[in-house]
Amino acid sequence: MTVAKRTEDQAWYRGYGDDQYVYYARKGPKEFLGGAFTVETYQDLEKYETTIPFLNKKLIRLFNRAAKLPTASKIQELSDAPGGGSMVTFTDPEGFPVNLIFGQEVAEKGEYPEKLTINYEDEKPRIRRFQRFQPGPAAVHKLGHFGVCTQKFDDLVDFYTKNFNIVPTDFLHVEKEGQKKNVALFAHIDRGSDYVEHHTFFISTNATTHVHHCSFEVHDFDTQKLGHQWLANKKYKSVWGIGRHILGSQIFDYWWDTTGNMIEHYADGDLVNDQTPIGYGPAGDESLAVWGPEVPSWFLK
């Protein structure tokens, strides 16, 4: 990521996609400031605004426009932020903040990395061209998803799926006394027949309430490996990776940042739409990866 704008106590970081910024930080006590989603009209903000007083920005269509959220803020103008716009902030049943943004200008895209030509055993289009790479950090394209751990799983599932066009992609369950109980949800933003990423948001049952991680898209597998090598050489602490997820199929690589937040780089994720059946499967380490290092015992805690 590069710095889009910095003030004395705030910083906005961007990738090379068309988002003005994909990560926002401000000085102060460690605090989750919430994920952010763009809405389609200013009226969507007005419908949620009341007088009671982090991340991927996917276009989200609000279904229950007439229903006001009791914890929503007044509409605030993002005069300091790159791209401007207006924002309403509210909290979900677990107390996590969520930001809805309208009117932010689209940023000019940066330079996209070259799409590599790959030679296979029966098809070899790369002739007299060599694969050469420049060591360095993995450039970020965009924020893909974030997720939370909660003690109020059912409440959060109801809140997000009933108030917004956030819909299930996959549920994971445990068996207790012969009954299957859902304990995790991978959800995408419903854009009808348009294809969207496998999940933009996930919710997982946990004994403690906390943000689990946020995840940024990078170009490809070589970018992942180069970024992993760069972070290791800089003595950052690896969490888990590199590996290949089952749900979403992403190539993943998790690290701790300098403040103890878990950050993921991913590449090659699945796409879904309204014709994709909801998946159901058992929760546990075996549901997390096709290949990769052993899952840390505390990863889901």
Own/partner contacts of 116-124, CB < 8 Å, gap of 24 or more, are: 116/220, 116/222
Same domain, 64 and 194: no
Here the CATH number for the domain that contains residue 31 is 3.10.180
Same domain, 61 and 149: no
Q: Are 239 and 254 in contact (CB under 8 A)?
A: yes
Same domain, 80 and 199: no
Distance CA 191, CA 238 (A): 35
Q: Is 111 within a domain? A: no
Structural domain of 228: 142-291
Q: Is 300 within a domain? A: no
Q: Is 125 within a domain? A: no
Closest CA to 27 of 48, 42, 11, 46: 11
Same domain, 90 and 226: no
pLDDT value at position 73? 87
pLDDT value at position 19? 96
pLDDT value at position 48? 62
Residues 6+ apart with CB under 8 A from 297: none
Domain tally, the chain: 2
Q: Are 75 and 88 in contact (CB under 8 A)?
A: yes
Same domain, 30 and 86: yes
Distance CA 235, CA 93 (A): 38
pLDDT value at position 178? 85
Between 110 and 48, the higher pLDDT residue? 110
Reported confidence tier of residue 57, pLDDT bands at 50, 70, 90:
very low
Q: Is 195 within a domain? A: yes
Reported confidence tier of residue 192, pLDDT bands at 50, 70, 90:
very high
Flag whether pLDDT at 58 surpasses 80.
no
Reported confidence tier of residue 50, pLDDT bands at 50, 70, 90:
very low
Closest CA to 126 of 116, 135, 141: 116
Q: Is 180 within a domain? A: yes
Flag whether pLDDT at 2 surpasses 80.
yes
Q: Is 260 within a domain? A: yes
pLDDT value at position 66? 30
Reported confidence tier of residue 60, pLDDT bands at 50, 70, 90:
low
Same domain, 48 and 167: no
Same domain, 149 and 280: yes
pLDDT value at position 52? 34
Domain end position, chosen among 71, 102, 133: 102
DSSP symbol at 29: S
Distance CA 272, CA 301 (A): 28
Q: Is 229 within a domain? A: yes
Between 69 and 75, the higher pLDDT residue? 75
Helix (H, G, I), strand (E, B) or coil at 267: strand
Mean of the per-residue pLDDT values of the chain: 91
The amino acid sitting at 214 is C
Question: Is the pTM here over 0.85, yes or no?
Answer: yes
Q: Is 117 within a domain? A: no
Here the CATH number for the domain that contains residue 196 is 3.10.180.10
Q: Are 33 and 21 in contact (CB under 8 A)?
A: no
Return the minimum-mean-pLDDT range out of 16-20, 50-54, 221-225: 50-54
